[in-house]
């Protein structure tokens, strides 16, 4: 389907950063008419729809749920005061989300967590937290995407489908573009997809290796053995013929520069971080023969930024518990899903995240019983659960700020258009909450 180019605009702003997926494409042109974005150039379809964004799902003023259970518009002062008081009076608050806001806002959130003894956590807890655990167990051999563009002759995607989830990953960073040492772009590279399913990424790859769901651990171990020169007794492992595995490891071993990307299909299947453990070891082993690096395919445009900001401030990457006044991090103890499943939290605030979509049913049930706050731009399932709604602004469109791409390259995101009148940035909202909580603390003394 070919879309008609947009001609009816009066201003263009170049080199904007898309605030959707972890690709953080920073080459986007916004087309404006009467100070509204009417079109975009260079963005993929998901990115474009996110940026152009119709306003009908937009949260436009603060709301509080009344006694009849209906969300009612209110003033900022009332909504902020009430949120601050609920948070201040709670004993096990959780501040969750952060994947789609700026580092500047995240840092304010961390300060609030510190003074209120909250748990602060992000989407890692349900996505690549397992990968982070594996990095902590085994090691962390990574690269920026430009290394792949310029050098990689072999690229492996495992348990991830960027063609649908990170649409420009192959076209902008890894597969198709000309690289300094890969002048012919796509022709100079071998692309291999390992996935139980035949995905759109498999479709554009040179090789698709289908393996049995939940047998990643076996598969990667077999590859390690083959790399070490050992023989496999089995004719097939994880549903892949030994011969295919031998061919694969030969290609990987002979790469000049190999890059491996992995997704939730690895980090959230049966053996979870154990899968990633072996995968890292495989990459480490490969470096004896050739050059290999790896990277998790991070979902939202600033999940990586949250991990970085939280380590800068507290030392730990996610699931940080301030209940004792200093940070603690223990997966299973201080992570959101586990806390909710144990029914511990008595306050829950989600900032730029929708637990209503992301969390399992049993976990969500607890949210019905405790005060829940939403800080976000759009109406979503979580709005239906929220007692207070604080409407915020879109980073990279209405608000400036910093985000870190999946490979941790920092990007400054511009403010291009004005925010809706009665919305405020996450940073502003959190700063206001911080002030109010400090006030309440003083009154207590």
Partner 1 sequence: MEYILKNGIVFDPKNNVKGEQMDILIKDNKITDEVSSNAKVLDVTGKLVMPGGVDLHSHIAGPKLSIGRLYRPEDIRRGIKPPSRNDISGFEAGFSLPTCPTIGYRYTKMGYTTVTEAAVPPLEAKHAHEEINSIPNLDIPTLTLFGNNWFMLKYVKENRLDDLKVFISKWLKLAKGYGVKIVNPCGSEAWGWGKNVDGLDDAEPHWEVTGRQVITSLTRVNEELGLPHSVHVHTNDLGHPGNYETTLETFDCVKDIKKNRNVDRNQIIHCTHVQFHSYKGTSWRDVSSGATELIDYINKHNHLTCDVGQITFDETTTMTADAPMEYDLFRLTGLKWANKDIEVETASGLIPAIYSQHAPVSVLQWAVGLEFFMGVKDPWKIALTTDSPNAGPFIRYPKIISWLMSQEKLQDMLDNDVHSWATKRTDLGTYNREYSWDEITVITRSSPAKILGLEDRGHLGLNAKADISVYDIDVDDFDPTLKSNSETIENKLLNSKYTIKDGEILVKDAKIVKLVKSNHIWCNVKGLENSERLLENRIKPEFNKYYTIKYENYGVNDHYIKPDTQVNVEYMGENYESN
Q: What are the φ/ψ torsions at residue 145 (nearest 5 degrees)? A: -65, -25
- Choose the binding region for ligand SF4 from 162-170, 213-221, 266-274, 349-357 (rule: CB under 6 A): 162-170
| 332 makes contact with partner 1 (CB under 8 A) | no
Q: Is 351 within 8 Å of 95 (Cβ atoms)?
A: yes
Out of 150, 244, 269, 363, point to the residue binding partner 1 (CB under 8 A). Answer: 150
Interface with ligand SF4 in residues 164-183 (CB under 6 A): 166-168
Count residues contacting ligand SF4 (CB under 6 A)?
Answer: 13
Shortest Cβ distance from residue 42 to ligand SF4 (Å)? 7
The radius of gyration of the chain's CA atoms, rounded to the nearest angstrom, is: 23
- Choose the binding region for partner 1 from 228-236, 308-316, 358-366, 388-396 (rule: CB under 8 A): 308-316
Interface with ligand SF4 in residues 30-59 (CB under 6 A): 43-44, 46-47
Q: Three-state DSSP class for 276?
A: helix
Q: Which does 15 bind (CB under 5 to 8 A by kind): ligand SF4, partner 1, none?
A: partner 1
Spatial distance between the Cα atoms of 314 and 403, rounded to a whole number of angstroms: 18
Spatial distance between the Cα atoms of 173 and 151, rounded to a whole number of angstroms: 11
Q: Is 159 within 8 Å of 199 (Cβ atoms)?
A: no
Spatial distance between the Cα atoms of 308 and 303, rounded to a whole number of angstroms: 9
| 394 makes contact with partner 1 (CB under 8 A) | no
Burial status of residue 346 (CB atoms within 10 A of its CB: 0-12, 13-18, 19 or more): middle
Out of 49, 72, 140, 384, point to the residue binding partner 1 (CB under 8 A). Answer: 140
Shortest Cβ distance from residue 301 to partner 1 (Å)? 14
Site string for ligand SF4, 208-247 (x = CB under 6 A): ----------------------------------------
Quote the Cα angle for 309-314-315, to 5°: 90
Q: Which does 86 bind (CB under 5 to 8 A by kind): partner 1, ligand SF4, none?
A: none
The nearer residue to partner 1, 196 or 317, going by C-beta atoms, is 317
Interface with partner 1 in residues 215-274 (CB under 8 A): 256-257
The residues pairing with 12 across neighbouring beta strands, listed in sequence order, are 31
Q: Is 271 within 8 Å of 133 (Cβ atoms)?
A: no
Whole-angstrom CA distances from 241 to 50, 52, 246, 384 are 42, 47, 9, 49
CA dihedral (255, 409, 180, 15) in degrees, to 10, reads: 140
Quote the Cα angle for 270-275-280, to 5°: 170
- Choose the binding region for partner 1 from 139-147, 216-224, 335-343, 376-384 (rule: CB under 8 A): 139-147
Binding site for ligand SF4 (CB under 6 A): 18, 20-21, 23-25, 43-44, 46-47, 166-168
Binding site for partner 1 (CB under 8 A): 14-15, 17, 26-27, 103, 107, 114, 132, 135-147, 149-151, 172-173, 178-181, 256-257, 284, 287, 290-291, 293, 307-308, 311-317, 324-327, 329, 400, 402, 404, 408-412
């Amino acid at each position: 389907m070919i879309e008609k180019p947009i001609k009816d605009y009066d201003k263009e702003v170049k080199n904007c950063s898309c605030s959707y997926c972890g690709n953080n494409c920073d080459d986007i042109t916004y087309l404006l008419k009467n100070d509204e974005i009417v079109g975009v150039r260079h963005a993929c379809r998901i990115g474009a729809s996110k940026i152009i964004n119709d306003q009908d799902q937009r949260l436009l003023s603060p709301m509080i749920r009344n006694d009849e259970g209906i969300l009612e518009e209110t003033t900022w002062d009332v909504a902020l005061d009430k949120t601050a008081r609920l948070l201040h009076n709670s004993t096990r608050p959780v501040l969750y989300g952060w994947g789609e806001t700026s580092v500047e806002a995240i840092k304010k959130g961390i300060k609030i967590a510190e003074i209120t003894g909250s748990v602060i956590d992000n989407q890692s807890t349900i996505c690549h937290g397992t990968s982070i655990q594996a990095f902590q167990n085994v090691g962390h051999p990574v690269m920026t995407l430009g290394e792949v563009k310029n050098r990689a002759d072999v690229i492996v995607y495992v348990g991830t489908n960027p063609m649908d989830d990170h649409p420009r990953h192959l076209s902008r960073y890894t597969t198709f573009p000309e690289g300094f040492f890969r002048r012919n772009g796509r022709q100079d590279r071998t692309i291999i997809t390992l996935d139980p399913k035949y995905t759109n990424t498999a479709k554009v790859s040179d090789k698709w290796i289908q393996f049995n769901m939940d047998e990643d651990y076996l598969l990667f171990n077999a590859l390690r053995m083959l790399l070490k020169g050992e023989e496999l007794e089995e004719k097939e492992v994880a549903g892949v013929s030994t011969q295919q595995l031998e061919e694969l490891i030969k290609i990987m071993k002979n790469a000049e520069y190999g890059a491996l990307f992995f997704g939730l299909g690895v980090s959230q299947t049966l053996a979870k971080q154990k899968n990633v453990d072996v995968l890292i070891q495989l990459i480490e082993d490969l470096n004896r023969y050739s050059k290999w690096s790896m990277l998790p395919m991070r979902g939202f445009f600033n999940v990586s930024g949250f991990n970085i900001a939280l380590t800068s401030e507290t030392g730990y990457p996610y699931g940080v518990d301030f209940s004792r006044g200093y940070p603690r991090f223990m997966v299973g103890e201080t992570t959101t899903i586990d806390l909710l499943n144990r029914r511990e939290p008595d306050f829950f605030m989600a900032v730029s995240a929708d637990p209503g979509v992301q969390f399992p049913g049993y976990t969500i049930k607890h949210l019905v019983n405790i005060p829940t706050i939403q800080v976000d731009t759009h109406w979503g399932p979580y709005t239906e659960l929220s007692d207070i709604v604080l409407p915020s602004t879109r980073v990279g469109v209405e608000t400036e700020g910093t985000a870190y791409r999946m490979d941790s390259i920092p990007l400054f995101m511009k403010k291009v258009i004005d925010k809706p009148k009665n919305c405020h940035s996450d940073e502003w909202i959190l700063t206001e909450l911080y002030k109010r909580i400090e006030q309440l603390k003083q009154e207590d003394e």
